[in-house]
Structure 1
Amino acid sequence: MELITEPYWWQDGAELPPVCHDVPAKADMVVVGAGFTGLGAALAAAEKGAEVVVFDAGQPGQGASTRNGGMIGAPHRPEFVQELKTYGRDLAVRIVREGAEGYAHTRALHEASGVFQHTGRVQMAFTRAHFEAMAERVRLIHELAPQETRLLNREELQDHIRSDLYFGGLYYPDHGAVQPRLAHDGLMKRARDAGVTICAECAVTAMKPEGDGFRLTTEAGEIRARRLVWATNGYTGLQSRWLARRIFRVPSFIIATEELPEGVIDRLAPGRRMMVESRARHSYFRPSPDGKRIIFGGRAALVSIDEREAARRLQRTMAEIWPEAAEWKLSHSWQGWLGFTFARNPYVGSHEGVHFAYGYSGNGVALSPWLGRKAALRAMGDPEGTTAFAETRLESRPYHIGGTPWFMALASPWWRFVVDARETARARRDREMRR
């Protein structure tokens, strides 16, 4: 079977909308980008009575929104401890608590569409130091922003994943999963039912302030909007150079196995959890919704590479976890772009009247519809738009002009041959000491 280089998720889903050839002359709000962020923004504005038009340069959702692993939960980032140091106790607590609120909001949307699976998530400690850091993180979470978490020792971890690679883990019982394409289909239907117009394969090529709003040029004509939300995250181009300079994109690569023999997944992943590693490769993996395949993602490189080479690298990592995976056949290999801010935190804000939410840094499935909603409400002057993520840092760098980040090409070999190699050697020493 030839390797398919489109997302496994795309084999299901609703019929794609037709190419847009005619656009309305005006709208209360225009949203650029029809992924999770843009649809969250459009839905919030429409529910407040606004006439909303959404433009997407490609097919709606075919960026990161339907290329991810489909894992969803309240923010579980290891950087929580760093956020406490960076932002101080008050803001760090508000960020974490709003993350939980955002997850509840997004989960409710997907439950209404019937696509949410309650699976739980386990983060596995690759080194002894990572496990010790997890213990500290649990202590802080319980003290400052209570949510259900459970530290697992090495033996307890075996109830969730059968592998000798790890030193323990951290279990988030409330987390879950979605099939990303079906989740996006559900949000798009909800937005359309609320009266939102969605223009597919119709890029916005220029924008300029005009009166009390904006005039936008698209591939199918011009439109005037009173309010504008830019929702392109890791696919932000140079049409908004100010935004593009403050976000950089990092590729994430995912493979899907062919259907595995009956009983394999129950034996190797008995909890059928969403699973995330602590090591620098940022591997994340899960059973497919039907429980017949493993979907395995990670940082095969810091730059875009051929999907077949990415598949080889990811399968080697997968075989370190489960040695028998070296013999599994793969059906799909694909990649997508994650949007990162330099502070590694999402940000909601505005510049010269253009509102935006982006930089989810790997936490977009849960947060993007919620923060898209916040961006739209802020654009409308609604007090419900208040968010702690408007108080995080948004920085630029002199060497980043937007678009493809050239500096990642320099960082990629350092990451692979120094950072990853050093961490792997540390884990090997830890395992030898464990014996």
Structure 2
Amino acid sequence: MKNLPLNTNPWWWEDASTPPATDRDLPQTTELAIIGAGFTGLSAALTAAERGAQVTVLDAQLPGHGASTRNAGMIGAPHRPGFVEELKTYGEETGYSLAHEGMEAYAFSRDLYENSGFDAGFRESGRIQLANSRAHFAAQKDRAKILNGIDAGQVEIVERDALPQHIASDIYHGGLLYPDHGSIQPAKAHGGLLQKAMDAGAAVCAPCAVTNITRTATGFELATIKGKLTAKRLVIATNGYTTPSVSRHLARRIFPLTSFMVATEELGEDVVRRVAPGLHMMVESRARHSYFRPSPDGKRILFGGRASMVPTDAARAARRLHDTMADIWPEAEAWRITHCWQGSTGFTFARIPHVGEHEGAHFAYGYCGNGVALSPWLGRKIALRALGDPEGETAYARTRLESRFYHRGGKPWFLQLASPWWNHVVDRLETRQIERDRRG
């Protein structure tokens, strides 16, 4: 594998303009303080500022340094594989509300990325979930019947003999196509949203880490590395980067799961169109959850997945992702990897996002890999809730937010124990079943 030297910054950063400067002085007071300058926080800031609120956004890093500019840029209504289980857990009313609100979220975020006066690189590419085994394809068919039956967006079953129209690989048994799903260039989208929020009047101070939050009689006092800020209202929008210093309560109920992505060398548009003729966003059904797509310019393949659940170096992560890519397309063995980067995806223990309020602070987090569509929508919702607007009502306020006695917030040490199980048991058993299916 001819991959070194690797660039460990996201490929997206090279294809985006320099974001606006945010290293400004911290005001002493504000009406609404927002911690986190990713998609959630900036959407909340834009919503509140457009309603006349004085807004100050704080972030420990430069805006968008986290998952907002490190993700794959896949966007669509979040029809999670666990939707059937959600119906059992929450009941039909809430379950269906979540499905339909997912469609609302996608429509809202798509409109934001398409019609807000900045180039987010949106394209209606469609997204296909590829079945790695016969059992996975059977489950996909059942899911499609449910989703189409409740009018939760168009879902098409793709039989195995039709797959060559979508991907040049013979390892899959079928798939589900979401034709109206799309793609963005996340760094461009984030930079555009940042500028739009600032143009609306939001003050963005970053880097400016929050080190402590104190509840007061009139609101909140935030201690930061730049001094103290007094706020009447508070929104926490830190998702997979939530730390105990911001909120121990929230940090105990979410954990960061690292996902890696690689970018190939320029392969040329002819090669990309040959291996991915549908030019879709593509995800797999197997547990290692590979996801991949053409780059916006159509010259590379961008490929992500669970390369490791524990800290590892970029070269090792790139090798594992490259091996998976070559399993899909054998010719990929000769492709050079130029970039390998990582980001933290926020997972709740219930594996579904949650919107809530704790000790007066409003929050939305735990997107579980669906943040590109959900985070602008739920960022808007928590801003409205913080301002006391009933339009902030959301089905995601009715999901469960659970803790575990073994997670105290911060680094998820328990993944050290889970990693061998997933790598050496789950993945191996799944691989054996997939190989049996391939042999017929």
- Superposition TM-score, scaled by structure 2 size: 0.97
**Is 1:421 matched with 2:428?**
yes
Equivalence for 2:113: 110
Give, in whole Å, the separation in 2 of the partners of 1:76 and 1:391: 17
Moved more, 5-14 or 246-255: 5-14
Equivalence for 1:52: 55
Cα deviation per residue 1:279-306 (whole Å; 9 max; x = unaligned)? 0011000000000000000001112211
Q: Residue 252 of structure 1: CA displacement?
A: 0.3
Deviating beyond 4 angstroms after TM superposition, the runs of 4 or more aligned structure 1 residues are none
**Is 1:149 matched with 2:152?**
no
**Is 1:252 matched with 2:252?**
no
Contact 2:74 2:281 in 1 (8 A): yes
3-state SS, counterpart of residue 223 of structure 2? strand
Give, in whole Å, the separation in 1 of the partners of 2:200 and 2:268: 44
Moved more, 414-423 or 139-148: 139-148
Please, which runs of 5 or more residues in structure 1 have no aligned partner?
none
Q: Residue 262 of structure 1: CA displacement?
A: 4.4
3-state SS, counterpart of residue 348 of structure 1? strand
Give, in whole Å, the separation in 1 of the partners of 2:203 and 2:256: 28
Cα deviation per residue 1:32-52 (whole Å; 9 max; x = unaligned)? 000001011111111111010
Equivalence for 2:10: 7
Equivalence for 2:23: 20
Please, which runs of 5 or more residues in structure 2 have no aligned partner?
none
Contact 1:96 1:145 in 2 (8 A): no
3-state SS, counterpart of residue 381 of structure 1? coil
Aligned pairs for 1:271-290 (under 5 A) are 271-290=278-297
**Is 1:380 matched with 2:383?**
no
Contact 1:255 1:333 in 2 (8 A): yes
Equivalence for 2:207: 201
3-state SS, counterpart of residue 118 of structure 1? coil
3-state SS, counterpart of residue 165 of structure 2? coil
- Superposition TM-score, scaled by structure 1 size: 0.98
Q: Which AA in structure 1 matches 2:198?
A: R
Give, in whole Å, the separation in 1 of the partners of 2:22 and 2:184: 27
Contact 2:75 2:182 in 1 (8 A): yes
Equivalence for 1:225: 231
3-state SS, counterpart of residue 191 of structure 2? helix
Q: Residue 18 of structure 1: CA displacement?
A: 4.1
Identity %: 59
Q: Residue 114 of structure 1: CA displacement?
A: 3.1
Q: Residue 15 of structure 1: CA displacement?
A: 2.2
Q: Which AA in structure 1 matches 2:393?
A: T
Contact 2:268 2:300 in 1 (8 A): no
Give, in whole Å, the separation in 2 of the partners of 1:189 and 1:21: 15
Give, in whole Å, the separation in 2 of the partners of 1:98 and 1:212: 34
Give, in whole Å, the separation in 2 of the partners of 1:207 and 1:178: 35
Q: Which AA in structure 2 matches 1:3?
A: L
Give, in whole Å, the separation in 2 of the partners of 1:141 and 1:19: 43
3-state SS, counterpart of residue 57 of structure 2? strand
Contact 1:93 1:145 in 2 (8 A): no
Pick the aligned partner of 2:166 from 154, 160, 163. Answer: 160
Give, in whole Å, the separation in 2 of the partners of 1:385 and 1:207: 24
Q: Residue 79 of structure 1: CA displacement?
A: 1.1
Give, in whole Å, the separation in 2 of the partners of 1:137 and 1:124: 14
Contact 1:231 1:356 in 2 (8 A): yes
3-state SS, counterpart of residue 148 of structure 1? coil
Moved more, 80-89 or 285-294: 80-89
Give, in whole Å, the separation in 2 of the partners of 1:62 and 1:304: 19
Q: Number of residue pairs matched?
A: 433
Cα deviation per residue 1:13-34 (whole Å; 9 max; x = unaligned)? 2324446352111111000000
Give, in whole Å, the separation in 2 of the partners of 1:19 and 1:381: 28
Equivalence for 1:411: 418
Equivalence for 2:219: 213
Moved more, 227-236 or 210-219: 210-219
